[in-house]
Structure 1
Amino acid sequence: MSLIKRIIPCILLISGVCYSQKKSLRAETVTSSISINGKLDDPDWENAQVASDFVMYMPDNGKPENPGTKTEVRVLYDNNAIYIGAILYDNEPGKILKEITDRDDFGTSEHFGVYLNGFNDGQQDYRFFVSASGVQMDCLATETDEDFSWDAIWNSSVSITDFGWVVEMRIPYAALRFGNQKDQTWGLNFYRELRRYRQKFTWSFIDTNIGAVMTQAGLLEGIHDIHPPTRLFFIPYSSYYYDYTGGVADNKIKVGMDIKYGISDSFTLDAILVPDFGQTKFDNVVLNLTPFEQQFNENRPFFTEGTDLFNKGNLLYSRRIGGPPSTYPVTADNEVVSQYPNSVDLLNAIKISGRTKGGLGIGVLNAVTEETTANVTNTDTGQSRHVIVEPLTNYNLTVLDQRFNGNSSVSFVNTNVTRNGSYRDANVSALVWDLNTKGNTYKLAGDFKYSYINDAKDYDGFKTALNLIRTHGNNRFDILAKYISGGYDINDMGIAFINNYYSFYANYSYRILNPTEHFNTFKYSSSTSIEIQNSTGKIQDYFWNARFDFTLKKNDSFNIGMEMRPVETFDFYQPRVTGRYSYNPRSMLAYSIFSSNYNRKFAIDANPSMDASYEKGRYGYGFYLSPRYRITDRLLFSASFDLYKKFNDRGYIDQDDTNIYYGQRDRKTISTELTGRYSINNKMTINLTARYYWSYADYERLFTLNDDGYLTDFTASQQTIDSYNQNLSLWNFDLSYNWWFAPASQISVLYRNNSEYYSSLVDPRFGHNTKNVLDTPLNTVLSVSVRYYIDYNVFKSK
């Protein structure tokens, strides 16, 4: 027994030393042509060094791989590309999951991936994945984000065997970034997902007890005498649109080009000439009764791809570029605005981004939008005039991000919007820091931001924050203090809804790092926050919440939470008048979320919730349900139903020279969506998305807002009250065909129609509102787009 007691600590010590040392793998030179066929039957593979002994990343962090599902990977290289060959053993090959999906959609499949960092600096990975069905996924990855909108030109092939499956990949150097040293050392890791067990493995062990992932990568050695190629890519496109809107048909052809050019080993220029965003996903518009604009996701590839640097400081809301005009026409008593554009056309845009050997990241984004006018019509004479609502405008963002110690950074960010003529200009600067301890156990983050607006009345403001975070172990915390002045405004190129307050926030969380008898994962978190308005000292927000997140052994996940606002607060934005405010009563919210294991053919998500204020009769409830059924590996359907109902809600409705008016309303919102995907093969899919949205606000009482923030009943006729009712129905339908006919090259066909029905008459019948919106004339678009990715190196060789 004493001998065993002595041996065990030695084994544990040796294991700890092994994990602390970086794994390394030597790449061998290709001596003959490599055929990418998913078979590894070329003789060079036999002589390559083998990477093995994978370790579980999730859920049982640190557990060695099972011998029955072991993984072996080899790496070769030549003057043009790096080659990855992987044998993924599986003692039950008939159970390998291999759903066929769109590119960059992992779906319900087994996966293999390689993470490459040509500078071995722990800053950014180029990640390439292949599913067991042969679908490619690729992304640019940092510690905080994986950007799957990035698409590279590379080849891969898979084959299912009687011992598992095999992956073969060829990744050209033009798809990577690395220096021009004679002897190369790259950061390297391999990834495998055993989807049917919901287990993820890596070759170089990633300790989840540590906050950083990329600094735990292994090393790829042995590559020498290669040179970064000319990184020049042309992406010409041609699109045809048939548009039938408002009973008028229109045909349009667009031709343009995107260009990607490697200025140096590290820096890339992206440019769009004559942009075409006609096939981007539609926005999920809602009935918005808040004092703030609705924020939309960015769906345009140019503004989503490779934007990690540009998101430093959170000063960029790219939907501003090419969004709605910034002004509205001033009209006389006998004039009306007869035509107002929904958006401004983008003329061109460029991005320059990269990082020097010393860790300095530099990013520049510049975009120009065209002068845009609205039509104003004289109701007496019928004559119209054009009014500029957005002049020629230049948007510019500059980022300098200095990385050091492998895991920390200090950034300077500046945004500038310059409008032609006497229109409003804006400038925002920020200093942002993210400092981590050497062992990635603690983080000190913060910022200082300053904004200046040049308008009819100039003004400025600032914001500062300091954040201390414990990022390791079972027990973690997050403490934040923040101050924002009243004149702080970043909304010309960014988005920030509120200012003029200071706040304190604290969060504590506990998590298990390895599965237990009942749980694969488990996390408890609790947060509290208080916001105090600067000018009055009144509390504008205060909450405390608690949440449990856990996954059971069969990989069904649950979230249970509650949030309380135990004191009365004041809203300084709902009245739409500076210096005025209205009260919010104490309230509470409870919710739960269930998501069944997507490995099953039939899975379901559900989310019931309920909220209530401490004032009698003011409450609400919601229910979200989303079933999905994977009929075959090629065919998938999912649906969602989202209901929310609010009783005796109160909010702003109108104002005049004397009063600000509020109304008490019942609100109901129903949103349904059907999506479907049929994969003809791993490069060709047909996708369906249909959305119906219906929401109304039915007013019952009117109030005037007092100077102290409370409400007084206002007597009005029922006709007056009803005039404030709102009833909105929306219909969107997209049917698309996508074919990746060559690496990163695509043919897309899209049929889209949509309609909108709005009325101040509230009809509470679901069927009638559905009929109303479908009876409204549909706006229809049929478009065909071809994009072809041309690599200058391939073109030159031919």
Structure 2
Amino acid sequence: MPKIYPSFFLLLVFISFDTYSQKKTIQAKFSAENITIDGKINEEIWKTAPIATDFIMFEPDNGKPISESKKTEVKVLYDNNAVYVLAVLYDDEPNKISRELTNRDEFGVADVFSVSINGNNDGQQDFRFFVSAAGVQMDCLATEGGEDFNWDAIWDSEVKITDFGWVVEMKIPYAALRFSKEIKQTWGINFKRDILRGAIDQSYTWNFVDTKIGAVIVQAGILEGIENIKTPTRLFFIPYSSAYYQKDDFASDSTFKVGMDIKYGINDAFTLDAILVPDFGQTKFDKAILNLEPFEQQFDENRSFFTEATDLFSKGNLFYSRRIGGSPIKDIYTLQDELAANEEIINFPSTVDLINAVKISGRTEKGLGIGFLNAVTAKTEATILKTITNTSVDPITNSTATTTTETTREEVVQPLTNYNVFVLDQRFNQNSSVSFINTNTIRNVDFRDANVSALLFDLNTKKNAYKLSGDFKYSSIKDNDFYTLLNNGLENYNGFKTQLNFAKTSGKYRYMFSGKYLSENYDVNDLGIIFVNNYRSGYGEMTYRIINPTKTFNSLKINQNINVEIHNTTGKTQEAWYQAVFAAINKKNQIWEGKVQVSPFDRYNFYEPRVQGKYVFVPQSIVSYLYFASNDNKKFTIDIDGSIEKFNEEGRIIYMISPAISNRFSDKFSLSYNLIYTRRVNDRGWVGYVGDDVIFAERNREIVDHYFTGKYSITNKMSFNLVARYYWSYAENHEFFTLEDNGKLTTNSTYSENKNRNFNSWNFDFSYSWWFAPASEISVLYRNYAVESTNLVQKNMQTNLNNVFDTNLTSIFSVSLRYYIDYNSLKRKH
């Protein structure tokens, strides 16, 4: 076999190909006339604006022209404040246009029109604005890595249903976009129409997007004509006030907060976001679980500041924003180990207060993206009670007297902490980039500091047929206190991670090969999150997909992949599996997915023992998985998935089944219920220590997770929402083992400590939301929650449900008002 040298891959990246078929171009027309966004097309200037038409199917039958009965026409105007888009969407069955009312950024079952704008025309990032036939707005930042719907812009739209179809008018202020300072602007643009009806969902784009090519953004059309615009100052204030009343079985209190978010456009490309006196009291609740794994539970980010416009900060996966304002760095167990025999913890904070946060992000006209984020969290203390007993003897009566003195002290569990993220991301050739990321955590007093840097590259051929990507990441930890013992006694230690990937990203047949190496002391957990290090791995994947529908399928994808991970220190296999996956949508618009995963070799887990240098044997296993989803366009839908994992160990097996049902009673009202049930038979895991011995248990586990949601939308800006979750899980041990040095378990007949676990969690949110003006909202929330955790296993669900409600049930009623103020409107009033 001939050798393939690295230079071949570098050469491949820069091979010149013919460009795509000629891109469509539309001219934007300047309007001196005031445009009213009402969907009525009353303005004369709309009649003379150029038309974008002749849409082409994106999915499922890629390349098929749109029918005359669904003809779509789009026009674009502009002035010094905004871009205006008018779409006339013809439909020969206007009474069948899908238009479910949903919350903002939720598509539901509704026809949708959207515009994607790339102000730099660099093929790298779109600002996408969607409007459903029900008038609901959705928006996102889009890269080839995906769509970020956490980003919310401030724009205006209106929809009218007519006897010939429907009409959309949109006003997109320049403040919602990013573009160069050029006198004559050239933007990338595409329009998309989604039709949800019957058994086939259809999508059409104005400029043809070839699904044989992996990249979509580079296949946009061109918008010309915008020139000599004088954009207004981008300065917005969003003051808020909120009031909370909280009550539990022991006490009640009231809280009132005021604060402000500030958004300032440094120029047309860069934006500063700041929060003063943050308030996250109405964010979604975390889905707590019974976590018996050696790793922390990873939570979703629900705070808008850390979810909006964070695409730059997410590069390299080094930023886990829940670190900021999350749990204290010194946990309750570490603190307990430091206490004297006569001391106890009487108050331990679950979270750390965020003092303030600011971020600056944007991209120059030469494609250089710059991002900076800074956040400061408060000094946080636990309260320690110390009990001193004194005994004195009366010299006359010879009697003894005992007195007890109690004192309290505060122990710092999280010092004043400063978090920083800095990103440079240079894009070039419309589809390639090189990035530098640095994260830095500085803690006051004798707590550890951390610094992590990374260099990433993503190189694609001009036709996006092949990709070469990779990274090099380096972590440096300065540890001064209690973490020292947890890290081999190292006060300062460094680590690194590197990865290289090569992939074919176009056509029916695609493949990808990847290799990576993580050193033993690679650690990004101060501002990022990582569970496993100290291994090297190889991964290979081959994929087949149909490009156009067949007699049976609208879409079909078959994937095979192999993954092998080897522990660096011991050379033992950490993971090794082969996987075959298929995913298909049939002619009834039903989704079918399946997977078989075989782990044919014995493996070793280096983390479950919770002791450095220890590992536990994991036997061979096989997993089978199946998923079905009915046609979402129907009022009643059902999804169900299930899996079975069988280990090569007597009686050890994992079952999972998850049915979900949803009923759309009307376009305004819907209810859904989802159950996830898992049973782990003869599961084996860590439970504790006896001296230097690590104790494992064989146990049975059940996990039941109920999730119920309801929605009633009064209008496209006003709705009631209900979310309820009940989670119950137990772990019942029936045999104990001692972990041997070779990773095997031997029976321990003397260990008798009760390590069973029974965990219940209840969450209930009922809310009302009214977006009474752009970016301005009144929200009312009633929330109650409770958690119960014991070592007494109860296997009756009704008993567990009663128990969690008999615990300290906390109820919160809150009202929040946010109001958007545009500096320009204030200036005009004066």
TM-score, normalised by the number of residues in structure 1: 0.96
**2:81 and 2:231 in contact (8 A); partners too:** no
Q: 2:700 and 2:91 mapped to 1: Cα distance?
A: 57
Cross-structure match for 1:472: 506
CA distance in 2, matches of 1:344, 1:433: 35
Residues of 2 paired with 1:479 and 1:642: CA distance?
A: 34
Give 3-state SS (helix, strand or coil) of 2:406's partner. Answer: coil
SS at match of 1:574: coil
User: Residue type matched to 1:382 in 2?
Assistant: E
Q: Quick check: 1:769 aligned with 2:795?
A: no
Q: What 5-or-longer segments of structure 2 have no aligned partner?
A: 1-16, 389-404, 481-490
Q: Does the aligned pair in 2 maintain the 1:417–1:425 contact within 8 Å? A: yes
Moved more, 255-264 or 139-148: 139-148
Structure 1 residue 374 corresponds to structure 2 residue 398 = no
Q: 1:245 aligns with which of 245, 248, 254?
A: 248
Tell me what 2:537 maps to. 503
Aligned to 1:408: 432
CA apart distance, 1:561: 0.8
Amino acid in structure 2 at the alignment position of 1:773: V
Tell me the amino acid that sits aligned with residue 707 of structure 1.
D
Mapped partners of 2:603, 2:410: distance in 1: 45
AA at the equivalent of 2:358 = I
Distance 2:194 2:344 in 1: 61
Residue aligning to 1:285: 288
Report which stretch shifted further, 749-758 or 34-43. Answer: 34-43
Query: For 1:332, which of 328, 340, 344 is the aligned residue?
Result: 340
C-alpha displacement of 1:36: 1.4
Query: 1:449-483 deviations in whole A, cap 9, x for unaligned?
Result: 11010013111111101011111001111111000
Distance 1:412 1:77 in 2: 36
- Residues in 2 aligned to 1:605 and 1:101: alpha-carbon distance in whole angstroms: 20
Match in the other structure for 1:111: 112
3-state secondary structure, aligned to 2:225: strand
* Cα distance in 1 for residues equivalent to 2:233 and 2:384: 52
Helix, strand or coil: the match of 1:535?
Answer: coil
Query: Are 2:576 and 1:580 aligned?
Result: no
Which residue is 2:6 aligned to?
Answer: none
2:623 aligned with 1:589, yes or no? yes
Q: 2:275 aligns with which of 263, 272, 277?
A: 272
**Partner-residue secondary structure (3-state), 1:650:** strand
- 1:533–1:539 CA contact under 8 A, matched in 2: yes
Does the 8 A contact of 1:180 with 1:227 survive in 2? Answer: no
The alpha carbon displacement at 1:64 in A equals 0.7
How has the CA–CA distance of structure 1 residues 335 and 23 changed in structure 2, closer, same or farther, with 3 Å as cutoff?
A: same
Cα distance in 2 between the residues matched to 1:513 and 1:174: 38
Match of 2:755 among 692, 705, 724: 724
Deviation of 1:597 after TM superposition, in Å, equals 1.1
Query: What are the residue-to-residue correspondences of 1:256-655 with 2, within 5 Å?
Result: 256-328=259-331, 329=335, 330-380=338-388, 381-456=405-480, 457-655=491-689
Equivalent residue for 1:49? 50
Name the TM-score, length of structure 2 as normaliser: 0.93
CA distance in 2, matches of 1:19, 1:504: 34
Runs of 5+ consecutive residues of structure 1 not aligned to the other structure:
1-15
- Alpha-carbon separation, structure 2, partners of 1:360 and 1:245: 52
In the superposition, relative to structure 1, how do residues 18 and 435 fare at CA in structure 2: closer, same or farther (>3 Å)? closer
Indicate conservation of the 8 Å contact 1:19/1:205, yes or no. Answer: no
Match of 2:11 in 1: none
Counterparts of 1:630 and 1:399 in 2: how far apart (Å)? 44
* Residues 583-640 of structure 1: per-residue CA shift (max 9 Å, x gap): 0011111110011111100001101211110111111211100000000000010001
Deviation at 1:167, TM superposition (A): 0.6
Q: Which residue of 2 aligns with 1:234?
A: 237
Partner residue, 2:723: 689
User: Does the 8 A contact of 1:97 with 1:109 survive in 2?
Assistant: yes
Between 1:631-640 and 1:203-212, the stretch displaced more is: 203-212
Deviates more, 1:728-737 or 1:757-766: 757-766
Q: Distance in 2 between matches of 1:776 and 1:422?
A: 38
1:382 alignment partner, SS class: strand
Q: CA deviation at 1:18?
A: 11
Letter in 2 for 1:782: F
Query: Secondary structure in 2 aligned to 1:795?
Result: helix
**1:671 partner SS:** strand
- Counterpart residue type for residue 453 of structure 1: I
Mapped partners of 2:665, 2:192: distance in 1:
28
Percent same amino acid among aligned pairs?
Answer: 55
- 1:795 is displaced (CA, Å) by 2.2
Q: 1:142 aligns to what? A: 143
Deviations 1:508-563 (A, max 9, x none): 11000111110000000011111111111110111111111000011100101111
Q: Map Cα deviations across residues 8-50 of structure 1 (whole Å, 9 max, x no partner).
A: xxxxxxxx99961110001122242222111212211111111
Alignment-derived partner of residue 198 in structure 1? 201
Letter in 1 for 2:308: E
The one-letter amino acid paired with 2:145 is T
1:485, distance to aligned residue in structure 2 (A): 0.5
CA spacing shift, 1:587–1:508, aligned 2, 3 Å: same
> Partners of 2:430 and 2:571 in 1: how far apart?
42
Q: Counterpart amino acid of 2:366?
A: G
| Contact persistence 1:370–1:393 (CA under 8 A) | yes
Pairwise CA RMSD: 1.3
Q: How far is the alpha carbon of 1:662 from its aligned partner?
A: 0.3
Residue identity matched to 1:270: D
Correspondence 1:60-75 to 2 at 5 A: 60-75=61-76
1:252-281: CA deviation from partner (whole Å, max 9, x where unpaired): 111001111111221111111111111110
Counterpart-to-counterpart distance in 2, 1:358 and 1:192: 31
Aligned 1:75-224 pairs, distance under 5 A: 75-196=76-197, 197-224=200-227
How far apart are the structure 2 equivalents of 1:119 and 1:446? 25
Question: Is contact 1:451-1:461 (8 Å) kept?
Answer: yes
- State how far apart, in whole Å, the 1-side matches of 2:119 and 2:755 are: 61
How far is the alpha carbon of 1:743 from its aligned partner? 0.8
Structure 2 contact 238–818 (Cα < 8 Å) conserved: yes
Counterpart of 2:681, as a letter, is F
2:160–2:168 CA contact under 8 A, matched in 1: yes
What's the CA shift for 1:647?
A: 0.6
Q: CA deviation at 1:246?
A: 4.7
Counterpart contact for 1:138–1:152, Cα < 8 Å = yes
* Partner residue, 1:796: 827
Alpha-carbon contact 2:83-2:174 (below 8 Å) kept: yes
Q: Counterpart of 1:185 in structure 2: which amino acid? A: T
Asked whether the 8 Å contact 1:259–1:270 carries over to 2, the reply is yes
| Per-residue CA distance 1:143-177 (angstroms, 9 max, x = gap) | 21322222222211111111100111111222222
Is 1:754 aligned with 2:778? no
- Describe the SS at the equivalent of 2:129: strand
CA distance in 1, matches of 2:316, 2:20: 35
Q: How much does 1:189 deviate?
A: 0.7
User: How much does 1:228 deviate?
Assistant: 2.8
Using the TM superposition, give the Cα deviation of residue 379 of structure 1 relative to its aligned residue in structure 2, in angstroms.
Answer: 4.1
Structure 2: which amino acid aligns with 1:605?
D
**Distance in structure 1 (CA, Å) of the matches to 2:627 and 2:92:** 35
The one-letter code of the counterpart of 1:433 is: F
The whole-number CA distance in structure 1 between the counterparts of 2:471 and 2:424 is: 14
CA distance in 1, matches of 2:32, 2:449: 60
Contact 1:180-1:228 at 8 Å conserved across structures? no
Report the alpha carbon displacement of residue 794 of structure 1 after superposing the two structures with TM: 2.2
* Code of the aligned partner of 1:271: A
Query: Is 1:736 matched with 2:767?
Result: yes
Write the letter of the residue equivalent to 1:726: R
Q: CA deviation at 1:211?
A: 1.6
SS at match of 1:295: coil
